[in-house]
Each structure stands twice: as structure tokens, then as C-alpha cells.
Amino acid sequence: MTVSREFLAGLPKAELHVHHVGSASPRIVAELAARHPNSPVPADAAALAEYFVFTDFAKFIDIYLTVVDLISTPEDVRLLTYEIAREMAAQNIRYSELTVTPFTSVTRGIAPEAFCEAIEDARTAAEKELGVTLRWIFDIPGEAGIPAAIETARIATEIRPDGLIGFGLGGPEIGVPRPQFAPYFDAARAAGLHSLPHAGETTGPETIWDALRVLKAERIGHGTSAMQDPALVDYLGEHRIPLEVSPTSNLATQVVRSYDEHPLRAMVDAGLVVTINTDDPPMFGTDLINEYAVATELLDLDEEGAAELSRTAVRVSFAEDSIKQSLLTEIDDYVTKTKS
């Protein structure tokens, strides 16, 4: 069965796995590039579409970091953050836990206090003006190692902007073992933040086990390789640990070769909790509406099934209870209205 894009576009949605810089659309990147003409990133939107073509995960990281270089002032941070919220609003994304990497901006000369002030200013404006509620997950860029972990943990626990709810770990997995980051996750958890690392995207199930056992993960970013280990599948199911699944991202970075080979259906059939996300949407030529379309086709869902995907994201989010209840009611009202 097919769920119409019109229904999916109007469906109130929550997104739990989406990156701050990785959400910079060609429109936003062109505006940033125009402000920094010495960047290798083109300021022309058409040229940007070609620039964003990559062949593997490593090339994606290279391109991603050139976009990071465009964000060199607090004003850039504020612009990026608010404009991301504007594009979320256009998709009827009502709540998002945005993964933010302060370390990459701080090392480029932005004071951490100014960085946090910029994202918070954008957050409060987005909620008031756009109806989009944002919360932050501060993640360690794994390729930068222990220095990045130290600084990210410091910013998260000492400066700690009001919207911060989680502590994560992103970047390449190969050659970046998870256990080395345990002390910094321990500190974040002691400060009341949730453990939300990436794991099992480009590596096998052992990375997911490390995230669970060592980093005490409460959700798993990607978890694409989880189905390779029956014991892990049993553990994830028994403990109801959600997976943040991003089908088009996995295809674009060649983690899977086709949608048909994606493990999403197997995850759901095994009774695992899954949420649908974009990861780095414009860099992968997608948005959350499209990811829902992909998911509903792979899972053979009707409109009620699509709505349940959105409800699941709300339920396993770390939004305040009042926000959860309001958004769940909004989803129910939307489904009722579309049936009448």
C-alpha cells in the first residue's frame, strides 16, 4: 500500500537523529558561503548540488567538514540554527532533538559561551515564531579523540544551555573505539544528560554492545548492523532500546546497497523499537517526509501505521511530558481529521 506524500507532509512529526551542520540545505549553505567567499564551498545552489555528491562515508565526512568551516562566527551559528528550524516547520516537524557538535565550532574560534548563546537564541525564536521545539544533543566528534571528548563534556556540564538533553558520539566509527569515551559519558550522565551515541552504522554489532555496556546508551544512533547478532536483537527488544534509523543516509553512504536490503523491515519484524530520521537531510537529498515515504513502503504501512511511526518518535523522545502529550494529541487529531 502507498501513503500519499500529502498525508505525510501534513502529519505532525518528531525527529530524533538529525545533525545541526548536516541539516544545512543548499539555500542555507549558499547564504553562508556568500558570507565567506574564500571557502571552497560554492555559493551557487546548483553548483552546491553537484558539490554534495560523494562516493563513500569518508568522502561525505570531508564534504561535511568544509561546510563546518563556513560556520565561523556566532552569527553564522544563529543563522544556521534558525533556518534549519524554518525548514523543519515547512515539513510539519514539531519537535526535534538536534545533534550539535560544539567542538568543531569552538576549535574554529567561536567561544563556547557565544556558541551556546547563539543556538539558544535561535531555539527560543524558533519555538515562538515557527512552532518548532528544539532540544540539543551535544556530541563528541569521534575522529578528534579525547581532546574533543574533554571539551564537549566540559561545555555540556559547565555551560549547559537550557535546551540540552543529551550527550552523544558521532563521526567515523572505524578506528574510533567507543570505550575510550566512557569517562566523559559518565560525567554527562552524572549531570543528568541522556546517553545517545551513534553505533553500528559502519561497523558491526560489537560497537553497539560497547555503546550499551560501556556508554550506557539509552537509544542507538543508526544501529544498522544490529540484526547480525541475535543476542543483541534479543537485548534491544527486551530492554526496549530504540534505534534511530535513517534509510536514505545508509544508502547514500553505501552502508546498504539498496532500500530492499535495508534491515528496517527485519528490525520491526523482530519487535524492535525504531524511529525514522534523516541524519543529514540535504546532503543526502532527502527530508523527513521522504524518509517516512520510504519507511511506509518498506514496512507496507497505511496512514495509521505512518502516524504510529510519528507517535513512537514522540514517546521515546526526551521531551517534557507536556510536550509529548500535546504532540500525541495533535497527531491523533490529524489522523481523525484526514479520515473524516
Number of separate domains in the chain: 1
- Helices then strands, each counted (H, E), the chain: 16, 9
pLDDT in tens, 205-219: 999 999 999 999 999
- Single-letter amino acid code for the residue at 35: R
CA atoms of 174 and 16, how far apart (whole Å) = 23
pLDDT in tens, 60-92: 777 778 888 889 999 999 999 999 999 999 999
Contacts for 176 with CB less than 8 Å, ≥ 6 apart: 142, 143, 145
Q: Is the pLDDT of residue 48 over 80?
A: no
| Domain interval for residue 194 | 5-339
Predicted TM-score (pTM) of the model is 0.94
CATH assignment at residue 250:
3.20.20.140
Beta bridge partners of 14: 95
pLDDT in tens, 113-168: 999 999 999 999 999 999 999 999 999 999 999 999 999 999 999 999 999 999 99
Residue 21 · residue 67 · CB < 8 Å:
yes
CA atoms of 219 and 213, how far apart (whole Å) = 12
In the predicted model, what is the mean pLDDT of the chain?
Answer: 94
Residues carrying an active site annotation: 201
C-alpha 38, offset from chain centre: 29
CA atoms of 234 and 222, how far apart (whole Å) = 17
Q: Is the pLDDT of residue 299 over 80?
A: yes
- The residue among 304, 218, 300 whose CA lies nearest residue 260 is 300
pLDDT in tens, 21-35: 989 888 888 888 888
Number of C-beta neighbours around residue 59 at 10 A: 12
pLDDT of residue 1: 65
- The residue among 298, 336, 292 whose CA lies nearest residue 93 is 292
pLDDT of residue 40: 81
- State mean pLDDT over 6-17: 98
